[in-house]
Amino acid sequence: MPEKEARKEREKEKWIEIVVSAPPQLIEALSNFMTEAGAKGVFQEDTFDEASPNDLDVPAEREELKAYIASGSAGEKKIAALGKYMESLSEIFPDLEKPSFKSRLIEEADWGEQWKQYFKPLRLTKNIVIKPTWERYTPQHRDIVVEIDPGMAFGTGQHPSTRMCLEAIEDILLKDRSIRKWRVLDVGTGTGILGISCAKLGAESVVGADIDPKAVEIARKNVLINGVEDRVRIVNRDVRKMKGTFDLIVANLTAETLLKIKSHLFSLTDPGRYLVISGIIEQNGRTIEEAFSVENMSLQKTIREKEWLCCVYKKGDKV
C-alpha cells in the first residue's frame, strides 16, 4: 500500500505557474498572447503603490498577470515563446519598461489553495453570479447563482470571452419566447459554467461536451453541486462526432479551433436557431466573420470587451 500511494504521488499532474510583470499598457497584449498559446487560468492582479498623501490607492507602474501551463516539453516551448514575444514588445514600445516573468513548478494538489486567493463571487451579467463553493453569497432580487469548484479545469468566468457568452445566452434564453423547450449544446464546456447557466436560465436539456477527461470530471461535479443533473449531461466527446440538432449552441474556444469545427457547428444548429461563438481576439474578427457568415448563417450581434469578441449567429429557416 505505501508503494502504491507513493506511485500516485509521483503521478500527480504538474503545472508551471507563470507570473508576468509589465507596464499596464502591455498587460492586455500579454494576456491575449498567453491565452492563444493555450495557457490556463490567465488572470490579472492589480498592484498598488503605497498610499498617496490623500490616502488613495495609486496604481503601480507595473501590473501582474498570472497563468498556468502544463509542464513538460510543450510547456517549455510556450515559456520560450513568451520570452521572445516580450522581446518583440520591447522593440515595438521602447519607451515602456521591459516586461519580465518568473515561473515555478506546482503540483495539482497545490492548485486549490493557489486559486482560492483570486476567485471570489462575480456578477457577470444582470442576473448571473458565479460563486466559488468555498465563498458565501446572499442572492439579491432575481440573482441566478452558479456555484463552481474549478479544480484543474481553470474556468471561473473571469475571462472576457466567458462573460460575453453569458451575456449572449442570457439575452437569447430570456427574450426569445418562440422556443418553449430549449435544447442547448455547450462545446468545450470546461468547468460547466455556460451549460449550467443555461439550465438555470430555463433550458430544458443541455449537453456539455469536452475532449479533456479532467474537465468532464470537474464539470460533472459542478452539475451536481448546482442541482441541475436532471437537465445537464456532460460527455467526453469531440463535437465532430456528435449528431442531432440544437436550439442554441455556445462555443467558447479559440479562433483556430472554431474554424476547424465550423461545418459541424452549422450542421448541429437547427434552422431558425442560434450559434454563439467566443474566444475571438479582435485581430481575428474579420476572418471569423467571413468564415461564419455563410451557409444560411446571419450575424445577429457582436459583443466586445477589451480586445475580445463574441458573435451571435442565427441560422435561416428551411426554404
Q: For residue 251, what pLDDT is reported? A: 96
Closest CA to 275 of 256, 254, 301: 301
Q: For residue 155, what pLDDT is reported? A: 61
Query: Looking at the predicted structure, is the pLDDT value of residue 112 above 60?
Result: no
DSSP designation for 97: P
Task: Kindly list the domain boundaries of the chain, sorted by start residue.
Answer: 12-116, 122-315
- Give me the CATH code for the 12-116 domain, please: 3.30.70.120
Query: Which one-letter amino acid corresponds to residue 265?
Result: L
| Torsion of Cα atoms, 58 then 59 then 62 then 64, to 10° | 130
Higher-pLDDT residue of 258 and 49 is 258
Q: For residue 200, what pLDDT is reported? A: 95
Looking at the domain 122-315, which fold is it? Rossmann fold (3.40.50)
Q: How far apart are CA 198 and CA 232, in angstroms?
A: 9
Name the least confident of 115-119, 220-224, 226-230: 115-119
The label of the residue with cell 486567493 reads: 117
Q: Which helix (H) or strand (E) holds 101?
A: strand 100-107
How confident is residue 135, by pLDDT bands cut at 50, 70 and 90? confident
Q: How far apart are CA 76 and CA 51, in angstroms?
A: 39
How confident is residue 206, by pLDDT bands cut at 50, 70 and 90? very high
| Mean pLDDT, residues 76-84 | 89
Q: How far apart are CA 184 and CA 195, in angstroms?
A: 8
The label of the residue with cell 516551448 reads: 77
